[in-house]
């Protein structure tokens, strides 16, 4: 059986450009093309190497869609309103609940929630009961829960003087790959000191524990916890799931162990090797059973068998600069090899 060490042959040297491994000193806006100038690529397109929980799910669901999505293809300029509402709804609920945990004033909570709604204020998905007004109902419901004592035994953790909410992290992996994520909130039990990661989710269907029990997303949170609590060997993840159609919260809690984290680290490497394999063979498989998802057909249906070059957006200087700007949000950056070493040390304790 292969181990993590068997896959650690690559270099982690992407310091010349933190987001893409591209030397920004060679990209001058004064050149004739400016931000629209194409960036020469040798080997794998660096956009393919930016992993996250959602992109890993997409890679497993349909590698071809992963490729097209990563390369920014099919920019029609027309957003599916119902799909836009789904993402805006989840984001606004998360922001609203985080503001409640930070004990902000009610007016500030509602303002934060309003500013997080990034589609038209009147857009809605009636079938799933998702709209801005439904978001406000959800946030107000959580305020009332807190007032009645929900999570009263826990306090919000502060790190370097700031509340531990929406903590962005990045893992630098071998061969130029990276994994990015965000932690909704970190809580600590007032008596026992036990650490709990709070993950806010929304769902139009009643949640089932099988959906979340073995999610790799929750294991990535240990990256942040390593910074805040270096000696921590295990922690719990509390999924607070708001059922939009039932207008009620559900709570699921799972303990995470060192073994589970070791398996997650190995799976990260395997996914990066899978992308490498698709690149070497110049073939990203199309999974036809995934052409219908989220109650709608794939946006690439009928197109994904065409030439990839005709469907993708070339990497430009402007793209590189935009991605470089986003790097500033990652407060926690760690080398994959350091994670492995920390894993081994904790296992020896």
Distances (CA, A) of 166 to 91, 97, 99, 180: 11, 11, 11, 12
What pLDDT was estimated at residue 348? 73
Residue length, the chain?
A: 349
Cβ atoms of 194 and 238 within 8 Å: the answer is no
Along the 349 residues of the chain, how does pLDDT read in single tens digits? 333 334 334 433 443 344 455 554 555 444 445 788 988 888 899 899 999 999 999 999 999 999 999 997 433 333 444 458 999 999 999 999 999 999 999 999 999 999 999 999 999 999 999 999 999 999 999 999 999 999 999 999 999 899 999 999 999 999 999 999 999 999 999 999 999 999 999 999 999 999 999 888 888 888 888 888 888 878 999 999 999 999 999 999 999 888 888 999 999 999 999 999 999 999 999 999 999 987 789 988 999 889 888 888 888 888 888 888 888 888 899 999 998 988 888 877 6
**Residue 213 phi, psi dihedral angles, 5° rounding:** -55, -45
Contacts of range 302-307, beta carbons closer than 8 Å, 24 or more positions apart: 303/74, 304/64, 304/65, 304/68
Q: In this structure, what token pair is assigned to residue 222?
A: 């240990």
Dist. CA 211–CA 185, nearest whole Å: 20
What pLDDT was estimated at residue 174? 94
In this structure, the strands spanning 195-203 and 178-189 are: antiparallel
What pLDDT was estimated at residue 83? 58
Cβ atoms of 269 and 339 within 8 Å: the answer is no
DSSP state of 91: H
Cβ atoms of 170 and 330 within 8 Å: the answer is yes
- Record the pTM: 0.82
Q: C-alpha 95: how far from its chain's center?
A: 15
What pLDDT was estimated at residue 15? 39
Answer left, alpha or beta for residue 77, where phi above 0 means left and psi between -120 and 50 means alpha.
left
Sequence-distant (6+) residues with CB within 8 A of 171 are 178, 179, 180, 220, 223, 268, 334, 335, 336, 339
């Amino acid at each position: 059986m292969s181990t993590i060490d068997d896959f650690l042959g690559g270099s982690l040297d992407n310091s010349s450009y933190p987001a893409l491994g591209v030397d920004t000193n060679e990209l001058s806006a004064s050149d004739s093309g400016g931000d629209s100038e194409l960036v020469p690529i040798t080997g794998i397109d660096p956009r393919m190497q930016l992993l996250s929980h959602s992109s890993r799910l997409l890679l497993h669901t349909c590698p071809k869609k992963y490729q097209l999505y990563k390369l920014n293809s099919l920019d029609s300029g027309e957003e599916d309103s119902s799909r836009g509402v789904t993402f805006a709804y989840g984001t606004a609920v998360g922001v609203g609940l985080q503001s409640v945990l930070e004990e902000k004033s009610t007016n500030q909570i509602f303002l934060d929630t309003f500013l997080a709604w990034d589609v038209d204020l009147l857009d809605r998905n009636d079938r799933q009961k998702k709209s801005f007004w439904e978001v406000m109902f959800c946030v107000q419901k959580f305020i009332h829960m807190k007032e009645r004592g929900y999570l009263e035994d826990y306090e919000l953790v502060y790190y370097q003087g700031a509340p531990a909410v929406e903590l962005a992290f990045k893992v630098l992996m071998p061969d130029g790959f990276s994994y990015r994520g965000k932690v909704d909130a970190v809580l600590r039990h007032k008596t026992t000191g036990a650490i709990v990661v709070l993950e806010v989710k929304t769902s139009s269907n009643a949640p089932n524990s099988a959906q979340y029990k073995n999610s790799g997303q929750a294991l990535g949170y240990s990256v942040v916890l390593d910074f805040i609590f270096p000696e921590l060997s295990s922690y719990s993840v509390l999924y607070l799931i708001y059922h939009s159609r039932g207008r009620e919260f559900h709570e699921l809690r799972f303990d995470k162990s060192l073994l589970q984290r070791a398996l997650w680290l190995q799976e990260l490497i395997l996914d990066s090797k899978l992308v490498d394999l698709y690149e070497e063979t110049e073939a990203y498989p199309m999974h036809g059973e995934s052409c219908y998802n989220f109650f709608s057909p794939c946006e690439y249906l009928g197109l994904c068998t065409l030439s990839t070059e005709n469907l993708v957006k070339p990497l430009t200087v402007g793209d590189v600069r935009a991605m470089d700007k986003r790097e500033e949000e990652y407060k926690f950056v760690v080398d994959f090899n350091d994670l492995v070493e920390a894993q081994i040390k904790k296992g020896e304790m």
